[in-house]
Amino acid sequence: MSIKDNIENKNGSDVVTFELSPQSSIIIDPGVMIYMDGKLIIEPTFTSKNKSTLARFGSSIKKAFTGASFIDNQISNKTDENLEIALSPKIMGGITKLELLPGQVWKFNPTSFLACTSNIAVLGNINIFSNFKAALGGQNILYIELSTIDQSPGYIWVSSYGSIKKHEVLINKDDINKLYINDGNFLGILSEDKNLNINYWKECVNVGSANGFFKGLLTQSALLLKIQYNKNFKRTEDLKCIVYTQSLNIRNLDAYIMGVSLTAMNNASLATGIGMGVASIVFQGGEFESKYEKYNYKLENLSSNTK
């Protein structure tokens, strides 16, 4: 199976184009396709490690709780020629490709998933207790988790709001390396590596203030997501915690849209109030009432003459 991909920026937004070779397939989120060759075949699929249909259905329900799609689409090329399909982020932003090795578990914001190879399981992580620290640091409390379903490497394509930055935070016994991430700018992390027997999500994800809690209250940085090794686990080897951030904060967009909506609602209420005031004057008897009856009579006459 061969899949060629090309990520390029078009008019300020990333687009990924796939060339599927004969008898190959790819799994995509249903809402991200721009176009595809008409010879390609779309089929619904549950992207889960479970083999039974009922168990896979349950896994998809859990994934839907995170805000991701309940069912993904499998795009297959059953011809003897190369065929093309193109995808884009749901909102304007970047796209990156990651290799998933057997034993690795990656955690990403639910709406960031674009596509993956057919040997990747996309699961929903709704463990609010495990994710509470991230939520306290201004991030999501629900995520999707991705891992391979066999002993072969797989690939995923994820999107961001804005541009994507990869960080490799060195964790060691000296505990001198740290990374602070602002509210809403966390995108994803290599949360666990079973081959190295390390859970980065548990051992390295914390909440902290860059320059003291009380100063943070004034600078809106009292509670930030902090990537730093927890000394309590007492590791002696040097490891790298791989984290991805996005340059734009989706919550700022939400707040902007909310502000526009409230302004529109207030303007509509004001216009309705003025309209009702004018109507009350018109229907208050006297000269206004007689003029209304006069023009209403003309309108009814005109309607009957046109029939």
Q: What's the rounded Cα separation, in Å, for the pair 67 and 70?
A: 9
**Residue 125 has what pLDDT?**
84
In the chain the first and final C-alpha atoms are separated, in Å, by 69
Tokens encoding 170: 């060195």
Amino acid occupying residue 228: Q
CA-wise closest residue to 246 among 161, 166, 179, 168: 161
Residue 201, Cβ density class (10 Å: 0-12 exposed, 13-18 middle, ≥19 buried)? buried
Q: What's the rounded Cα separation, in Å, for the pair 18 and 24?
A: 11
Segments of the chain assigned E as strands: 3-10, 13-20, 25-28, 33-36, 41-45, 72-76, 83-87, 95-100, 104-108, 113-116, 120-125, 143-148, 154-159, 164-171, 179-181, 186-193, 198-199, 205-208, 224-227, 239-246
pLDDT reading at 210 higher than 70: yes
Of 72-86, 113-127, 214-228, which gets the smallest average pLDDT? 214-228
Q: What's the rounded Cα separation, in Å, for the pair 187 and 109?
A: 6
pLDDT reading at 297 higher than 70: no
Q: For 227-243, write each residue's pLDDT tens digit.
A: 887 777 666 677 889 99
Q: What's the rounded Cα separation, in Å, for the pair 111 and 126?
A: 14
CA neighbours closer than 13 Å in the CB half-sphere of residue 79: 12
Q: What's the rounded Cα separation, in Å, for the pair 94 and 107?
A: 18
Determine the CATH number of domain 3-248.
3.60.160.10
Q: What's the rounded Cα separation, in Å, for the pair 241 and 122?
A: 21
Q: Average pLDDT, whole number, for the chain?
A: 81
DSSP letter at 160 equals -
Average pLDDT over residues 148-169: 92
**Residue 76 has what pLDDT?**
94
Q: Report the 3 state secondary structure along 57-76.
A: HHHHHHHHHCCCCCCEEEEE
**Residue 68 has what pLDDT?**
75
Whole-model pTM?
0.78
Q: What's the rounded Cα separation, in Å, for the pair 219 and 251?
A: 17
pLDDT reading at 300 higher than 80: no
Of 195-199, 212-216, 287-291, which gets the smallest average pLDDT? 287-291
Average pLDDT over residues 74-81: 94
Of 72-76, 172-176, 284-288, which gets the smallest average pLDDT? 284-288
Of 120-134, 138-152, 208-222, 288-302, which gets the smallest average pLDDT? 288-302
* Phi, psi dihedral angles at 22 (to 5 degrees): -55, 135
> How distant is the alpha carbon of residue 279 from its chain centre?
48
> How distant is the alpha carbon of residue 173 from its chain centre?
34
Question: Other C-beta atoms within 10 Å of 279: how many?
Answer: 10
**Residue 90 has what pLDDT?**
85
Return the residue matching tokens 């909440």.
207
CA neighbours closer than 13 Å in the CB half-sphere of residue 190: 21
Q: For 41-69, write each residue's pLDDT tens digit.
A: 999 987 766 556 666 667 777 777 777 77
